[in-house]
Amino acid sequence: MRLHIAIDDDVVAELDARVGHRQRSRFIAEALRRALADERRWEEIEAGLATIPDSGHDWDDDPAAWVRSQRSGDPRRVG
């Protein structure tokens, strides 16, 4: 699909210096993919904020002990 966008001359000059004018579309498309993936990740992070209640967890009494018990149960852990 084609898309018409306006980009400042100095940005185009830097783009051309980095990737060449024949690779503009590929570079811009990849940059947009990355930016959109970042946006999706932030939306997921923000959606998860405050979803865990403040109390009533296994780790409330002794967080360090809870972490140790979780680590000792991990079969990937060595030593």
pLDDT along the chain (79 residues), means of 10: 95 97 96 98 94 86 91 76
Going by C-alpha positions, the residue among 53, 55, 56, 57 that lies closest to residue 70 is 57
Cβ contacts of 27 within 8 Å, gap of 6 or more = 15, 18, 19
In a domain, 38, yes or no: yes
In a domain, 4, yes or no: no
For residues 22 and 16, the answer to whether their CB atoms sit within 8 Å is no
Q: Longest C-alpha distance within the chain, in Å?
A: 61
What integer pLDDT is reported at residue 79 of this predicted model? 60
Number of compact structural domains in the chain: 1
Domain that holds residue 25: 9-72
Going by C-alpha positions, the residue among 38, 55, 36, 34 that lies closest to residue 46 is 38
Report the predicted TM-score, pTM, of the whole model to 2 decimal places.
Answer: 0.63
22: left (phi over 0), alpha (psi -120 to 50) or beta: alpha
In a domain, 51, yes or no: yes
What integer pLDDT is reported at residue 25 of this predicted model? 95
